[in-house]
Structure formats: C-alpha cells, structure tokens
Amino acid sequence: MIPVPSFACGEWHTSTKKVRQVANASTDEVLYSVSSEGLSFAEMLNWGRARGGPALRAMTFHERARMIKALAQYLNENKKELYRLSTISGASKRDAWIDVDGGIGTFFTYASKGRRELPDTHFLTEGNMEHLSKGNTFVGQHICVPLEGVALHINAFNFPCWGMLEKLAPTFLAGMPAIVKPATSTCYITQACVKLMIDSKLLPEGALQLVCGSTGDIFEHLDCQDIVTFTGSKDTAMSLRSHPRLLENSIRFNQETDSLNCSILAADVKASSPEFDLFVKEIEREMTVKAGQKCTVIRRAIVPDKLKQKVIDAVRARLGKVTIGNPENEEVTMGPLVSLAQRDDVLKQIERLSACTQKVCGDGEVAAVGVDKGQGAFLAPTLLHCEDPLNSPDVHSIEAFGPVCTIMGYGATSEAIEIARAGGGSLVASVFSGDHAVARQLSLGLAPFHGRILLADDFCAKESTGHGSPLPHLVHGGPGRAGGGEELGGVRAVFHYMQRTALQGSPQRLSQTCGKWLPGAEYLEDSIHPFRKYFDEIRIGESLLSHRRTITETDVVNFAGLSGDHFYAHVDDIAAKESLFGARVAHGYLVLAIAAGLFVDPAPGPVLANYGLENLRFTKPVYIGDTLAVRLTCQEKTPKDLEPQGVISWYVEVINQVQEAVATYSILTLVERKTEQNTG
C-alpha cells in the first residue's frame, strides 16, 4: 500500500498507525493507506496563522489574483496525473474533466475577478460613504479586512479537486491561509493536487496545509479568527457545527450539504417539444455523470401526469445505452461508485425508498466492461416512480447518493411547486419550459427553497452548462436541508473570509485611513493641471476647481439639434412651464459635455484615454442662464499589471452659481506611468 501523506508545517507526514485502506473502485485492489496520526493540529493552526496569514495579507488583492492565476496555469500544465488518479476513483474522463478542469477554471475565474472587480489594495473599502450628520463632519465607511486565522475546509469525496479549489480561490484572494481536509476515499487525488501547488513554489509558506485522515482534535484549537467550511452529509454537518468550540467563539461555519434537488418539466411542454428531449437527456446525464455522486444531482424528476409514462419510457431507453465499467476503457460512459461501502449505502437507501416507490429500471446484475465478474462498486442506474408524491414524505427526505432518480407526476403548476418545496431546501432546481409565463411562475415559487434555478429551453441549450454545474460567478448553496450556506458567487465568496467593520469619523480621517478620498475631505490643489501629471505624480485628494461657464439658450438648442433629443422640457417653453421644472432645462448630457470641457486639458500629455464613467446622478436641474463649474478630485489610483499605465478614478462634482451640486459622478482615466524614457 502507498501511504497518502499530509502536509503540515511545511513538511510531508505519513503514519502507519490507525490507517484506513483505500481501494481501486473498479477492481477492489487496495492501493493506499491513510492516517493523520502524529500530526499536531494546534501546531498546524499556529503555523498557518504565524506564517501563511501574514505573508498573504502583505500582498494586495491584485498580487493574490496573479498568484492564483499562476497556480491555475501550473495545474493546467501538470494535470495529467490528476486524470490518471481520478480513474482509480471510478471517474470517467468526462467526470475527471468536471472535477480537474472545473477546479482549475474556478481559479482562473477568481484571478480575473480579483483584478477586475477588486482594488489593488490590502483591504477593501466597501460601498459608499454614509452621511451621519447634517454638516457632513461626521461620516461612516465600511471596510473589509482579512480575518487573521485559518480557513479549515472539510470536503466531500465526489470532487477531490474542484471541491478544494472552489474554496481555496476566494480564501487566497481574501488573504487567508487554509487547511484542507479531503474525504479519505479520494484523498490521494487531493494530495496530488496539493503537491503540485506546493511544488510550484508560488504559494507563501504556511498558506496551504493538508490533512489526510482524521481531523483529530483540530476543532479544540480553533478561535474567533478561524473559519470552517464543510461539504458533505447533513448529519455530519449538524455534528460539526454544534461543536462547543464553534459555539463559544462564534466561529464562522459555512455548510453545503446534499439535497434532494429536482427538475420540473413544465405543463406547457409537449412530447414533440424540444424541451421534452432536453429534459430527458438531462435526467440521464445527471444520473450517470460521476455515477450520480454529485450534491447537485436531480433526485426528483417532476413531470406532468399526462407525460409521465412518456418520460419514463424515454429515460429508460437512454439509460439502456449507458456503458458501465472500468473508466480506463474508452467505451465506458459510467464508472463505479467510489467504494463498496458507498454502493452498499445506496442500495440500502433504495430499499428504504421501495416503501413509497416502484422500480422502473435498474434490476439485475451489472455486466461491467473491463473487470472480472463481481469486482468493483458498480451499480446500474436506478429509475424509480412515486405514484403519490404529496403523500409520500420519505421520497423527499431519503437520498440515495448514487445513480438514482425518482419520477413523480403532478397536475397543476402549483402542485409541481408544492412537490419541489417538499424537499425542505435544495441546492438547485431546473425548469424545462417553452413558455415565459410558466417559467416565471415556477421560478418565483421555487426561489425561496432553492439556491440556484436553471431555466432551460431550446434557445440556451447549446451553451447551457446544465442542471448540475455550479459556476464560480454564481452562488452555490441553498437553504434548509442544503445547509443554508453559500459558496462561490463571484467576489461575494471573498467576503466570507473577511471582517466587515464600520469606521466612523471625519471625512478627512476616514480618507486617510482608507487610502481613498471621500467627499468632504480636504482638497490638495496645485498650479499644475492634474492632466499634465503622470500617474505616479498624482496624489489621492489632488483637486482642480475649473473656470465657470454660463448655459445659454443657444447651447440648449444646438445640443437638441446635434443629439436629436427634443424632449419637451428642453425645447418647449410652454410645456416646460407646466412641468415640474417650471421652465426649460438643459439636457443632462449637455451638462456632462460642458463639464468635460471645463476640466479637460486639451494638449497631448500623460492622460491616454477616458476609461469609463460610473455612478452618475443628476441632483438639481440646470436652467438657461445658470453658471456651472466643476470640481475634479483624485479618488483612487490603480496601477495596471505589466504595463506603464494606471487607472485613476476622479470624483466629479458639477456645481452651479449658488454652490449647489447639479451632477456627481466618477470618471476613470487611463494615465501613463512615469518611466526613465518619458521623464527626459
């Protein structure tokens, strides 16, 4: 047997005590031994807090994002071994692609989002400044800083790569180290993935540790700065989250548990509709990918009574074409379950479900390709039928975590919603419909009980990733039985690993603390126009007050002719007098155009381009005869990676002759950075 090592305090560790054996899922050959005996979990946590945490927090969001991207590239170049090991677990090439490439893709996504959606700072200024006093001398601002503990990620067996990587991506981006604890039955794949990341030398020391085997007394050493995430069974989650140490220290616990997800064939669909075929294909795919061992698998297929038999026949026909066997064989489309123990548990749950269902298909011995008779944890896809789902509570609470799905019929759409909600909260539901109104009714009825809803139709079918594929851009989680937690969801997941704190004080004090100019803070003025300065020379808070410009009737008439905007409030004197304005007003975009003319320095210089405009608000009407000026202030600076340029966010306030703001917004300019070549 090959021992699967843990990685603790910078060293690989194995033990021959209290080992658990792990076998090839197809051949039953025992290959690996797993044990965490001898590890000091207190030392591991302290190592992460003392080494990994400070090193990650010393990096900015953008530096962490670049690190994650480099890790993704390294894994992508060295993933062949992960595919080989996945075969041992019973995963086909298609299954391994979802796990391995899906996990690497999540790293790439978070690397991109980190650089595009987060600032190049060590902490995050969140949201707008809050005005807390009439005179604007006392304000508030939320900031988010990395927690200074360790994230303990306890993962399930079904996705040994993706399950880890989808948690590590936001953890690292937030600036927090991690200890990963994979399920024993597939930990050898996780260990190989961790080894690649350690060997890459891209991670700071202490940023990543691995426990293969029992977690021992690690929970006894957690504190309020640590986080625990868990993916797995509901019963295990309840045991972990109620640990006294977690309760005493209010330690964050993010839970994602298996749920009885459903897919609904809407009442508008006919047997000849493309959505019917899409639904049937999705049921078959969900039952056979990873041998049905996914937390998002369709466990309950809810179909109109009138189409129930047609669906049963169609799904049964597709399942009859599935080739089961050792995934090393190219002909195989579905491998075994991960272990004999897992197969036995699924069979036990099928037996429990037999009290309220009838078996449609799945009888008989599995003739597995590429293995001797009786070898492996193989199980034929099993389709069940529940005649009375609203009066069969077990079908909504018993889960067979394998290639098992139950067909159940409904009459009215409201009944389909009631059946779906009987699952008590799920990770995902899917709706197959060709009617927008029906899809909307189902969506709103399902939403309170589901973390994600796929609205499938013929239009999106070619590009849809399907019912069971969580995407890094969207939240993965669900209420109730699904655990009540959230993973992924773009940068939302990053906030799980940060502390949100409300700062209160003067605008100037908060600006200095946050490293971002806030309205009401001091202005830094210079005789040199800010557009004549390089990126490096501009200071946060540097400001320009422009000369003034009076709006004339000619301006308004000419702009109406140029733009084609002849809205009555601009060009119809009588209608304008009867409107809420009481007189003709200037176009909002005319105000913007004139403002640009007031603050722009026209000669060639370091400013390369206008990069965008954000948060525009027209706060007061501008009348013919009003005189405008502009206050332009440097709010934030973000250098661009590997380019001699940077983006500056300018806060723009357009004010009238009585010092009232008529418009506020931010503009982004691409500005050249100072180099030896352009300094003369």
Active-site positions read 256, 295
Q: How far is CA 634 from CA 252, 346, 409, 588, 666, in A?
A: 37, 62, 62, 23, 10
Q: How many Cβ atoms are within 10 Å of 205's Cβ, its own excluded?
A: 15
Q: Report the C-alpha gap between 437 and 439 in whole angstroms.
A: 5
Q: Report the C-alpha gap between 357 and 398 in whole angstroms.
A: 12
Place of tokens 């990587």: 165
422 phi, psi to nearest 5 deg: -65, -15
The token pair at 344 is 């036995």
The token pair at 158 is 């079904």
Helix (H, G, I), strand (E, B) or coil at 644: coil
Q: Report the C-alpha gap between 74 and 265 in whole angstroms.
A: 42
**Number of continuous H segments (helices) and E segments (strands) in the chain:** 20, 29
512 phi, psi to nearest 5 deg: -65, -35
Q: Report the C-alpha gap between 510 and 318 in whole angstroms.
A: 63
Strands (DSSP E) found in 258-412: 261-265, 298-304, 358-361, 382-386, 404-410
**Residue 292's closest CA among 381, 230, 206, 212?**
381
The amino acid that residue 510 corresponds to is L
Q: Report the C-alpha gap between 307 and 7 in whole angstroms.
A: 54
Angle ∠(17,19,23) on CA atoms, nearest 5: 155
- β pairing state of 252-257 and 261-265: unpaired
**Residue 238's closest CA among 502, 484, 600?**
484
Angle ∠(457,458,461) on CA atoms, nearest 5: 85
The token pair at 266 is 């809407």
CA-based max dimension of the chain: 93
Identify whether the C-beta of residue 360 lies closer than 8 Å to the C-beta of residue 387: no
Q: Report the C-alpha gap between 350 and 368 in whole angstroms.
A: 20
**What ranges in 426-535 are assigned the alpha helix state H?**
436-446, 507-514
Q: Kindly state the DSSP code that residue 400 receives in the 8-state scheme.
A: -
**Residue 145's closest CA among 499, 492, 495, 496?**
499
109 phi, psi to nearest 5 deg: -65, -45
Please classify residue 464 by burial: count the beta carbons closer than 10 Å to its beta carbon, then call 0-12 exposed, 13-18 middle and 19+ buried. middle
Identify whether the C-beta of residue 151 lies closer than 8 Å to the C-beta of residue 139: no
Q: Report the C-alpha gap between 590 and 663 in whole angstroms.
A: 11
End-to-end CA distance of the chain: 68
Q: How far is CA 451 from CA 141, 233, 290, 406, 448, in A?
A: 30, 17, 22, 21, 8
Q: How many Cβ atoms are within 10 Å of 147's Cβ, its own excluded?
A: 21
Helix (H, G, I), strand (E, B) or coil at 64: helix
Angle ∠(425,430,436) on CA atoms, nearest 5: 120
Identify whether the C-beta of residue 302 lies closer than 8 Å to the C-beta of residue 430: no
Q: Which residues of 159-169 are buried (b: 16+ CB within 10 A; e: fewer)?
A: bbbbbbbbbbb
